[in-house]
Amino acid sequence: MSLKIDVVRKIYARQGDTPERVLFEGLSLELADGEVCALVGPSGTGKTSLLQMVAGLDEDFTGTIEGRPPDIGYLFQTPRLFPWRTARQNLELVLPGRVERAGELLAEVGLAGSEDVYPQRLSLGMARRVALARALAVEPKLLLLDEPFASLDTATSKGMQDLVSAQLQRSRPTTLLVTHHWHEAAALADRIVVIDGSPARIVENRAVLRPRAAE
Ligand SMILES: Nc1ncnc2c1ncn2[C@@H]1O[C@H](COP(=O)(O)OP(=O)(O)OP(=O)(O)O)[C@@H](O)[C@H]1O
């Protein structure tokens, strides 16, 4: 089933000296089952806000999100791990009754040997891998990735990209990937959607053409 995003209007109300902000007005986007769509746009245009609306974490808008599956994986901009739980224990939280799977998933994201490490001892790249493993643990039909490669050095970012790419190919969830970088979008996505302006609108929506594999 495709995911149909139809936002009629999203407003952030005035807060103190910060005036009301109409974030979206008439924004529609449809993702085919299993499609990977990169969402690109300048800082502050509303990409994270849109992910939260798609996830159902923010319902304070007019419009509809159709076809949202029950199993959603969400990689937030910051890893959001529980600091008092080890990497493995963070995963076990979303794997009730399947604790051995936590170790397998950590190995899949290259963290074998770091299972018993607490988040404050993990680098950002490692913490994000744990968060990615947690997002994938629920075997999501819909995967929301909010800047998974930001603030990582080039080698770590490339490693994380390869990891995400392998996971997308393996389980093929419908995916909305927020990124600031065209090259990341082009490498991973089937389609690139650019939003811009205030209220933000879709200013570009194009398929990524890939060379055919040799037969
Ligand atoms: N809960 C909130 N209440 C009020 N305003 C908010 C809230 N969350 C975000 N905003 C504002 O909405 C705008 C869009 O924020 P959002 O984080 O969605 O943008 P973004 O495109 O993801 O930015 P970035 O690329 O920097 O992460 C910003 O101006 C932000 O200050």
Residue type at 40? Answer: V
Please tell me if the CB atom of residue 46 comes closer than 6 angstroms to any atom of ligand 1. Answer: yes
Higher pLDDT, 20 or 214: 20
Number of C-beta neighbours around residue 8 at 10 A: 13
Asked whether residue 117 is domain-assigned, the answer is no
Asked whether residue 215 is domain-assigned, the answer is no
> Which uninterrupted H or E stretch holds 174?
strand 174-178
* Total domains present in the chain: 1
User: Any residues with CB less than 8 A from the CB of 121 and at least 6 apart, and which?
Assistant: none
Asked whether residue 115 is domain-assigned, the answer is no
Asked whether residue 145 is domain-assigned, the answer is yes
CATH number for 71: 3.40.50.300
Higher pLDDT, 171 or 74: 74
Measure 47 CA to ligand 1 centroid, in angstroms: 8
CB 109 within 8 A of CB 135: no
Asked whether residue 134 is domain-assigned, the answer is yes
The pLDDT assigned to 52 comes to: 97
Please tell me if the CB atom of residue 18 comes closer than 6 angstroms to any atom of ligand 1. Answer: no
Asked whether residue 113 is domain-assigned, the answer is no
- In this prediction, residues 119-124 reach a mean pLDDT of 94
Position in ligand 1 atom list of the atom nearest CA 49: 18
Predicted TM-score of the model (pTM): 0.93
Q: Tens digits of per-residue pLDDT, 127-161? A: 999 999 999 888 899 999 999 888 888 888 888 88
Asked whether residue 96 is domain-assigned, the answer is no
